[in-house]
Each structure stands twice: as structure tokens, then as C-alpha cells.
Chain A
Amino acid sequence: MIDRPTTLAALAAALASAEAAAPVPAVGSSPLDRPVVLRAGGTDLQERLGSERRAGRRLPTIVDVGGVEPLCGIHPVPGGGVLLGAATTVMVLAESAVVAAWPALAAAAGGLATPQIRAVATMGGNLLQATRCPYVRNLDVSCWRTGGIGCAARDGVHDRGVVIDLGPCVAPHPSTLAAALLAHEATIVVAGAEGQEEWSLSAVLGDGTDATVDHQLDGDEVLVGARLPAPWPDERGAYVRAAGRQLAEWPLVEAVVRLAVGDVITRAAVAVGGVAAVPLRLPEVEAALVGHAPTAAVVAAAAAAATARCTPLPQTGYKVPLLVGTVQSALEEALGEALR
């Protein structure tokens, strides 16, 4: 829509009027079957709309959120943290001097997608994007996510699927920033009919057992931003993405690591993506680090703890060693010269 709402109130009004005006489509044949869909950068949505158009499907009404003031910008909050507006682009996250205080987040943002996508894609859109499973995106296939029953990938090709099998769908969560924000213990600001609330990231993304939705927000709820707590003193961070090609590929496994190191490792946060229906913190790895000297042996043992929850599918057995290797590499990179 060319007249973009600029306030949350205007956005709510635009949503309500679009909902009222929209024809009710057949339920459950596509992820776009909500009558009204919010659009930020559009880098995920436009591709799916394009597929729907080529299939001759009825399209939802679009409401653009990119101009809504509270969603824009990076705002300091008392205590040393920031509020990252949902419409902040991935490129800004990767390059901003403010975000550089959280090196793992900046690295994760810079490591995803391509320069052209990072310039447009937003933090909010990245968190709430639809699953990348090629079966889901094939409009001729019906599954849990598109109102049907079953998972064609589980019975078919799932070599890029999950290795920690939480639910009926085998597609890993696509959001790199979700893994990063999880490691940063960010809370998510959601605006709804009742005003603004703070949700945990897990509340936004669910626990991976419900394959019928991409996230837990209702149609009238808007992701406003992410509240990032202050960085740790002397925070170190790293992001490692394992994939076949060097760049521009969805990760097979990705790891976001934050560490604070004195004589021993004093704090650790490790989150991984590409392995489960939602990004996961790995407290078992963190526990094996905190209180220990940053030696190669400690790092290797901690990374090996990442296998604890693995339940590989027939085609994802390789992700068990890959998860260990990715976590280990991220830990080593975060430690840098502090590795003893």
C-alpha cells in the first residue's frame, strides 16, 4: 500500500479495515491464506506471493509496516541495552556501530543471505519468515504447514532437515537472527489489541511442536522490536555458519556464541540454528564452559556436549558431527587469542 501507516494506531486501523474488506479465502491451502498479511522488507513474502500468482491463486491484502515509527531505528534503553526496531534492516544490524557492542549478533547479521537481501530484509521479517522447506514452497504438496496432514519431507528428501526432532515438521527454523537473539537473551516487544507486551523469543517462535504456524503471533499482533540487554563486560562473540558453499547459502548448522573470559570462562551463551524446528540454546554446552579455563580440551568437550539432544533423521546423521564442529569452531573463534 502506498499510504503506509506511520503509527501503531494507524497500522491497527489499516489492519482492521483490510480484514473487514478482505474476502474470506478457503482455509488452509497455503501459508498466505490469511486474508491480510503484514509486509516489512518483503524479501520472503514477495517470493511466496510470486509463486501464488503463478499458480493463479487469490492473493491476500498487504499492509506495509516498514513506515510505522515505533518499528524503526535502534534506541538506547536505560541499563545499557537497546531496543532494535523490527523494521531495522539486517544490513544495519551488521554494520551499525551501536550493534558492534554485541559482536556475535553483528556477525550473524552479516553472515546471512546476500548483500542485496540484507539491504532490504528486516529483523522482524527475518524472525517471522515462513519455513524454507522446498516441499512447503511447492504449492502442489500439502502438509502440516499448509493445512494438510503429514510431512512429505520426512518421507522424502530431508537431507537438510532437523537433527533434533521436536515435532511433526522436519524443516529447521530459517531465522539466523532468532538464534542470535536467543543467545543474547533478547525479549520481543509485541503490540496487540491490549497494547504492548514483552514476549520471550520462545513465546514468539513456539517450542517446535506446532507445525501448523510459522510463529505464535495472531493476525492483529505486530512485532515491534527486540529489547537487547546490555552487553557483558568484555563480551566476545562469534558466528559460524556451516554450508557447502562459501557464502549465500542457507546454513546446514549455525552457531552463535557469546563468552566472557577472565582466568576462566565466566559467562557463556550458545545458541544453534539449522538443527531443530526452532533455534535452541545449548545449556549443556554452556555448563561445560563456565568456570573452566579456555583450553582446547575444554572447548572440545563442551562442543561434544551438543550431541546430547540429537535425534537424527535417516538423512541427517551427518549433522551430529557437524553440530559439534560448528559449535567448536564458533567457540574457538570467539575465544581468539584467549584460547589456551
Chain B
Amino acid sequence: MPEGTDVRTAEVDGRAVSVGHLDDHVTALEVLRSTGCTGPKDVCGGGVCGACTIQLDGTPVASCLLPAVALAGRTVTTVHGLSAAGPHPVQRAFAAADALQCGFCTPGFVTAAAAFVDRWRAEHGDVAPPRDAIGAALAGNLCRCGAYDAIHRAVAAACAGEHDDPAPLVGARHDAAPKVRGDAVYTADVRLDGMLEGVVVRATAPHLTDVALDLSVAAEMPDVVVAPMLAEGDPTVRFVGQVVAAVAAPTLDLAAQAAAMVAVLGAEAPATIGLDAAMAPDAALVFADRAARKGAFGGGEQQAIPARWHGNVRGPVRLGWRGGTAERRITRARSASDPLLVETTFETAGQVHTALEPHVAVADVRADGTVRLWASTQAVGDLARAVAARLEVPVGGVEVIAEHVGGGFGGKLSMTDEVVAACLLSRVAGCPVRVRWSRAEELSAAGYRPPTRSRISLLAAVDGSLAALRLDVESDGGTSIGASAAAQSLLLYGRTPRVVRDLDVVSHAAPGCAFRAPGGPPMAWALEQAVDEAAHRLGTDPLELRRRWDGNERRHALYDWAGALPAWRDRGPVGSSSGRLRRGIGAAMSSWMYFVDPGTEVTCEVRDGRVVVTCSTQDMGTGTRTVLANAAAAVLGIDPEDVDVEIGRSSPSHGPTSGGSRTAASVFPTTTAATEALRDEVVAVAAGELGLAEARPIDGGIAHRDGVVPWKEALAAAPGVRGAATRGADLARRVVPFGDSQAGRGLTGAVHLCEVEVDTRLGRTRVLRAWAGLAVGRVLAEGPARSQVEGALVQGIGYALFEERAVDPHTGAVVSASLEDYRIPGMADTPEIEVHFHTEGWEHVPGGGVGIGEVAAVGVAAAVGNAVHHATGWRPTVAPVTPARLLEGLGS
């Protein structure tokens, strides 16, 4: 330590921060964030994800585990300090390569990457490092959006000296600059004056009846407010982790101490956990009667189709066409031991969204009944309406704010417990209250893609046609209903006779909820592996077989593209690889619906000489801001950087929820129309103000008889001018209502190829390269579109190989409640990815392009499974394909 250094202060980004007075238990991250340094994020609290990374005397460390007192006399550089004298080259590189999506992990990533880049260049000069070196250096950082391949590219480029030019920070993504600087404000960063910290009390037993709460001790503690959270008229606990009460206090520690004083009293009743237990004849009932069933969380995988209940089983919901034909053909084939009948049971584990920004809400419920609510949500508009209904206040008085959202993936679509708790506590306390899930809460009781068990029967005919399909899927979604995996198979393989059945099996476990492409990945894990197996038995190229069975023209273009890739064309026969490390390649296809929200409204106005586009929607990392900016910029022929986008706020005007891949097709053409209206009005106003004759808009400005007035000048002459537009429905006959959205005409398509290397000795599977072809029409925002596809691949790889929500078989308590025990992919698990867009076939949709998020996700895991089969000759039926399952499978 240099002489004269104050041993009680740290130098943080050039300023002195006192740490001498702090409690021994406090972490460096807490101190930094409490002093307004909110770039470093609090995500896992266990040093796993690196979102809190700071440089301590130049070395990256996890500030969430660093005692604050250890900062004394040290120099700290956060993401903010990195760019103090202009952006660090790695920040420029991240922006340029679109090495980020939601941006919540980005401050930690760039802080760790900057240290690596600086050290690498000092030791090796300006050369790109090998991929493995980057992966190892950033092994302590996780990105749930899956921006890893772009991060690889960005770090390599920064090391090679490609981003040293001190140009302004410009990215492929409209909000890249604040995200790479760590300045973007998320709900988790919101701190209001006089705000209390709230926590919830959760049940620790799986099944209690006649529950009563004793809140008295907590309520009598000074500065503590309490709110019961049990549903009225249903005093039952149905799973470990169920929220029963909420408590707020000036500090989180005090709130936690008060919560510990809440007693949950009730009669312990038998619990049933898991598919087989729940379906046993003597199983304890989760919902005792019809009234109780109404409490089943219907926000499960999808809108639940009405069905009958039998004990803990709801359904089957039976769908299909020519089902009798399908059943007869399958029965006949089975009795004839037809080798072309593929009959297998597939299983998938629960997958947790794991958005790095946890569920968090800051509610300010005022005495006059108005509410301001900051929430990490995918649906500012829906949430405002739901909160108004829950608090019984006018919807016009509720404003929901979500300027930046640190990932959602389907887990933040509805009004979840943290929102309700924050609102109820704020109403009681008369001041703002924040409620934020810990990572353990996030990983155990904030929703998940339910585990499934699928029995598939797929019959190919001798002539190579698809004769019949049957798919029965049991969904293990705890107290939730709404399984849709079997139903998803209706989107594939044309009019083949089929019968598909979805069963909700409820048990005393936390509820699942929608997760990116609900039902899709588990369906594909079964169906697309069964198709692969049929191709294997028929001796046919699996892509050729799909082309034969799949009538969708857009996907045919993708089969052409994929089939021509050398890695596919030159592959060997199944199981022909030998030795310890075996390589294989697998393919799978995906299909999804095209959704649009016809009520979407966009306004476009001139403010301070700039174009401002406004919509009541949000950007959870998908690139909605960029789509809006691109649409407006294209109309005017200006740079998207010159368009301001205001989203992330509920308002009286309607905007789309970020779900169902509906946002892009809802906002892009609407923004185009609103900007066209604005443009025409600006031309008229500016022509008058500036005396322009024969004025007409051209790219970049207004052409008139005597020359061109650039938009900048024209806009300055037209302050306050507005244009507005509403999306409206497509002019197509086949439009199906779906909530406040519609399923429009046409299905999107994707084809994935994954090349794996299987270490048959250590049981490890690594995806080396991956290809994704998408048929979603015109690409509306290039960087974010590609990033979405890459991210879906990474999440699919996690689903196939690593991610497993583990539940105790006796209590339903979640065992995988930390990021060490719930394992999402990291940098080094990410393949090199090639993305291909087939842009034709969506001309009937205004704007020519549709959403990407879900179709990009459906078939990935199945492609990995098929690749493992190709490499080893062994077919994995249970996902994830962990070393345990692989070694047991290969050994048997």
C-alpha cells in the first residue's frame, strides 16, 4: 500500500469511498450500489455469474462475495470507470458486434473482458486470441440471453486492435451505448426516497390445510409493515415456496428478521410430488374440488383449453385429424412388429428462465389510489391493467415503468407475487416499497418450463411417406395447468393422420409458466428425434425425409440451404465415429405461429428537433427499440441513431406484450405508418414555415424546387408535429383470435444443425458448431435478429445438455436453487454459430417480416440429441444429456 493511503477508504472509479465504518458482513457490491454505482449487478450472490464483476487493482473479482472491508486501500474500477476517459475498446467492440441483448450481464462482462484484453495485448500484441483463451478468461461470467458467440467475436476484435479509434459509441442495437457503459437503468436499479425493502414469507411444507398466519410479532416490530398474501377463501399451502405473507422495513436485513418472526400455522397433509406419484390411485389431491381447481395457475404453458379433471390429472386434451386412422395404422404396425414404427418414451427436465435480472418491483401506491410501479416485466400494459384490477383502482391511475428489462423469456408475462407484495406493502406503508427475488427464489418459485414425459408413435410407410403419428405428453407443472407440448406438434408435417394428447398432471410443487416457445422444445425433443430415427431406419437423409413430409415451402428453402452445408453433406453414417472422442451432426426443424397484436398504436413526434417514436411496449433484450428506430429511420432515410425511442411505460395507448413472437410484426409496420404520417405533416409544416415550393420528402430530407432541406432543418421548423398509427389486422382470411392478439396466416420455420463432440470416457458432450436457418421474412433489425437466433441456440444447448430443475421427491423443494446447481451454458460451451435468413414468403404481412424469438428455439435440443445419436449410435431419450445419462446409456 503506498504511503499516505487511507486504510479506511477505497478509490472507486477515481473517487474516495469510505469503508471503515462498515459492518463486517456487508459486501463490496452492496456498498458500490448504495453509493449510486449501479453498473455492477446483483444477480446470483454466489460469485457464479460475474454480473457484479469489478476490477480490484486491475484484477477482475466478484464483488458480491468480496467483503466491503477488503476494499480498504485498494483501487476499484467498475464499468463506469472503464469509460471515464472515453469508452474502452472492448465496450466499442461489444456494441459493434451486438455482444449483448438484455444488457444485464454486460457491465460485468465488459469489466472482466477489459482486463483480459488489456493483459492480452500487453503480453501478445494486437492479435486475436484463440477461442479457448477467451472462453477461459470469461468463464466467470454468464449471459442468459446467450450472446456468447458475439462476445467471442467482440473480444477477439478488441484484442486485435480493431476498436481503438475514439469514435462515438455506436452499436447494432439502439440501446447498446447505455448498456455497455453500465448506465442503462433497470428496475433492479431503481431507488426511491423513503423506499422500504420488502421480502416475502414462503411456506416450508408442501401441503398445509386450514392455514392461519400469525403476523403479530413482525407487525409490532418498529418500522415494519406486513401484508398477508394467502388467497382469500383458500387457506391452503400447496407447495414449498408458496408466498403466504409479505413484510417490509427500512432495510433488507430488518425486513428479513421480521419475516422470520411470521408463523405459518396449519395442518400438515400428505403431499404428492412428481408424475407417477400424482397419478397413483391413492395420491393426495392437490385441488380437492372444483372451486379449488379455479386456483390452478392457468398461466402455465399457454391458455388452457377446457378439459375434464380426473384426480390430479387434467385432460387429456385430445387434438388431431383422422385420429381413428392414425390409431388403426399404429396398432396394426405394432402387432406386425413393423420396423418402421418408431415408438419411444422421451423425457425432458424442467428448465428455469433464469433471467439475470430477477423478478423485482418497486411500487408507489398513493393515498389517492394512483400507482406508479417499476417492474421487470414483459408486459407493461397488461401489468397495469392487472394491478388496477388487483388493487381495485382505476386503470388510468396506474403507470407501469420498465425502461430496461434484464431478460424475461416468458417468466415475466403476468402479475407475479413480487408485484402484488410490493403493491400491498406500499399501500399499507404509505411509501414506496421494493420487492426483489433472491436468486434462490428466482430459481425455485418464479416459474419454469414444466418437465415432460412423452410417448410417441411415428409410423413411416414402406414408400417413405409418413403414415401416422401419435404423441401423448404428460406435463409435470406443479400446481399449474396449460400443457401444450403435444398440441405444438400440430404445426409440423402437414395433414398426416394423427392423434395428440396433452395431460396436465398437478402435484404439490411450485407452478410452471410460459417459457419461450411454450411446449415447443419438449415436443421437438420427442418428435424430431423420432423423425431422425425413422430416417435412420429408412436409410434416408434426415433432411430429405423432412422435405418429403413437410409441405411448408419456406422450410423447403431452408432444407436446401442446410443440405448444401459441407458439414452436413460430408457427414458419415450413424455411429461411424470411433474412439474416445466421437463427432456427429444432427438436424431438426421448427415451426411456430405468426402472431400479431392488431391494436398496437405507435406515435411519432418532433421534439427538440428530433424524431421521437413512442409505443407502450418494452424491450427485454429482444431488440424492440431497434426495430422501432429502424422503421422510423427507413421512412425518413436517416440514421437510426437520430431517432429517439420511448418505450417501457404503460399508457392509455395500446402496445404489444413481449411474448408469442408478436412484437416485431406488431410495431414495425405501425411505426412505418406513424412515421409516414409524421413525415407528410412535417413536409407540409416545413414547406409553409420555410417557404418551400413543390416540397416532397426524399431520403434524408425535403426536396423542393430550389434544392433539398435536410430533415434536421425541417424538423426544427416543425416542433410538436405528430403522426400516429394503429397496426390493424392483416388482410387475410385465416386470422384466429388469440387473447388480444391474432394468429395470422402462415407458419414460421427454422432448421437447426448442431455438430457435437462426445467424450465417451468422461461423458461430456460439446457442441462445436451450429447452424440456424430461419424463415421469418425480412429481417427488421439485423443485429438483434441474429442475436436472438444465437441466444435461442445457446438456451437450447443448455436444455439439451445441462439444465435440470431438480426437485426433492418428498417435499418438492427445489434442490437446484443456485447458479452452481442450476447450470446454464457458459462462454466455453458455446459453438461457433452461423445464422441464415430466408427472407421470402412473408410479403402478405406489412413490413414483410415477423417475429423470431420462439421459432428459433423449438428444435435446438432435438438437433443436439440427433447429433449425439449420429456420433455414438445411442439415442438419448432423457434431456439433459448429462455425463451420468450418457455414460449409463453408452454402457448399456
Provided the pairs A53-B256, A325-B762 are in contact, do residues A245 and B25 lie with their beta carbons within 8 angstroms?
no
> Is the beta-carbon distance between A243 and B764 smaller than 8 angstroms?
yes
Option from A51, A140, A249, A317 in Cβ contact (under 8 Å) with B888: A317
B27 contacts the other chain (CB 8 A): yes
Within 16-72 of A, Cβ neighbours of B (below 8 Å) are at 39, 42-43, 46-47, 49-51, 53-57, 59, 61-62, 64, 66
Name the A residues within 8 Å of B891 (CB-CB): 321
Report the bound CA distance from A258 to B594 in whole Å: 60
> Is the beta-carbon distance between B826 and A247 smaller than 8 angstroms?
yes
Annotate B253-278 by CB proximity to A: 1 below 8 A, 0 otherwise: 10011111100000000000000000
CB distance from B465 to the nearest CB of A (A): 39
Provided the pairs A115-B60, A116-B62 are in contact, do residues A156 and B810 lie with their beta carbons within 8 angstroms?
yes
Name the B residues within 8 Å of A2 (CB-CB): 7-8, 19-20, 22, 69, 72
One of B152-160, B297-305, B811-819, B845-853 contacting the partner = B811-819
Annotate A303-340 by CB proximity to B: 1 below 8 A, 0 otherwise: 00000000000010111011001101100000000000
CB distance from A69 to the nearest CB of B (A): 14
> Is the beta-carbon distance between A116 and B882 smaller than 8 angstroms?
no
Annotate B779-803 by CB proximity to A: 1 below 8 A, 0 otherwise: 0000000000000000000000110
Provided the pairs A47-B47, A119-B59, A322-B763 are in contact, do residues A247 and B809 lie with their beta carbons within 8 angstroms?
no
Within 22-41 of B, Cβ neighbours of A (below 8 Å) are at 22, 24-25, 27
Binding site secondary structure of chain A: loop
One of B133-141, B515-523, B699-707 contacting the partner = B133-141
B317 contacts the other chain (CB 8 A): no
Name the A residues within 8 Å of B53 (CB-CB): 116
Q: Counting chain B CB atoms within 10 Å of each CB, which of A47, A57, A156, A319 scores highest?
A: A47
Report the bound CA distance from A286 to B766 in whole Å: 31
CB distance from B256 to the nearest CB of A (A): 4
> Is the beta-carbon distance between B820 and A250 smaller than 8 angstroms?
yes
Name the A residues within 8 Å of B802 (CB-CB): 244-245
Q: Counting chain B CB atoms within 10 Å of each CB, which of A2, A43, A140, A328 scores highest?
A: A2
- Chain A residue nearest to B59 in the complex (CB): A119
Within 854-892 of B, Cβ neighbours of A (below 8 Å) are at 880, 882-885, 887-888, 891
- Chain A residue nearest to B27 in the complex (CB): A46
Q: What's the count of A-B pairs with C-beta under 8 Å?
A: 194
Name the B residues within 8 Å of A242 (CB-CB): 762-764, 883
> Is the beta-carbon distance between B260 and A249 smaller than 8 angstroms?
no
B112 contacts the other chain (CB 8 A): yes
> Is the beta-carbon distance between A134 and B50 smaller than 8 angstroms?
no
A75 contacts the other chain (CB 8 A): no
Name the A residues within 8 Å of B50 (CB-CB): 114, 116
Report the bound CA distance from A49 to B813 in whole Å: 21
Report the bound CA distance from A226 to B364 in whole Å: 56
Provided the pairs A42-B65, A252-B883 are in contact, do residues A57 and B260 lie with their beta carbons within 8 angstroms?
yes
> Is the beta-carbon distance between A157 and B808 smaller than 8 angstroms?
yes
> Is the beta-carbon distance between B815 and A244 smaller than 8 angstroms?
no
CB distance from B505 to the nearest CB of A (A): 20
> Is the beta-carbon distance between B808 and A152 smaller than 8 angstroms?
yes
> Is the beta-carbon distance between B764 and A244 smaller than 8 angstroms?
yes
B235 contacts the other chain (CB 8 A): no
> Is the beta-carbon distance between A318 and B883 smaller than 8 angstroms?
yes
CB distance from B334 to the nearest CB of A (A): 32
Annotate B812-838 by CB proximity to A: 1 below 8 A, 0 otherwise: 010111101101011111000000000
> Is the beta-carbon distance between B199 and A54 smaller than 8 angstroms?
yes
B64 contacts the other chain (CB 8 A): yes
Report the bound CA distance from A43 to B28 in whole Å: 12
B161 contacts the other chain (CB 8 A): no
> Is the beta-carbon distance between B260 and A55 smaller than 8 angstroms?
yes
A159 contacts the other chain (CB 8 A): yes
CB distance from B633 to the nearest CB of A (A): 39
CB distance from A39 to the nearest CB of B (A): 7
Report the bound CA distance from A156 to B807 in whole Å: 8
Within 265-304 of A, Cβ neighbours of B (below 8 Å) are at none
Report the bound CA distance from A47 to B25 in whole Å: 10
Name the A residues within 8 Å of B885 (CB-CB): 318
> Is the beta-carbon distance between A244 and B45 smaller than 8 angstroms?
no
CB distance from A251 to the nearest CB of B (A): 11
Name the B residues within 8 Å of A240 (CB-CB): 762
Q: Counting chain A CB atoms within 10 Å of each CB, which of B61, B135, B199, B764 scores highest?
A: B61
Report the bound CA distance from A61 to B24 in whole Å: 8
Report the bound CA distance from A328 to B760 in whole Å: 13
Report the bound CA distance from A17 to B501 in whole Å: 68
B720 contacts the other chain (CB 8 A): no
CB distance from B360 to the nearest CB of A (A): 14
Name the A residues within 8 Å of B66 (CB-CB): 42, 46, 120
> Is the beta-carbon distance between B766 and A246 smaller than 8 angstroms?
yes
Name the A residues within 8 Å of B810 (CB-CB): 155-156
B204 contacts the other chain (CB 8 A): yes
Please, could you name 14 A-B residue pairs with CB atoms under 8 Å apart, sorted by A?
Answer: A43-B47, A46-B65, A53-B252, A56-B257, A56-B258, A114-B140, A116-B53, A120-B61, A138-B813, A243-B883, A245-B825, A245-B829, A246-B829, A248-B140
Q: 8 smallest A-B Cβ distances: which pairs?
A: A114-B140, A56-B260, A246-B828, A56-B256, A325-B761, A62-B24, A56-B257, A247-B139
19 additional A-B residue pairs with CB within 8 Å, beyond A2-B20, A53-B256: A54-B438, A55-B256, A55-B260, A64-B67, A116-B53, A116-B62, A119-B56, A138-B815, A141-B813, A157-B807, A243-B883, A244-B880, A244-B883, A245-B828, A247-B136, A247-B827, A318-B885, A325-B762, A328-B761
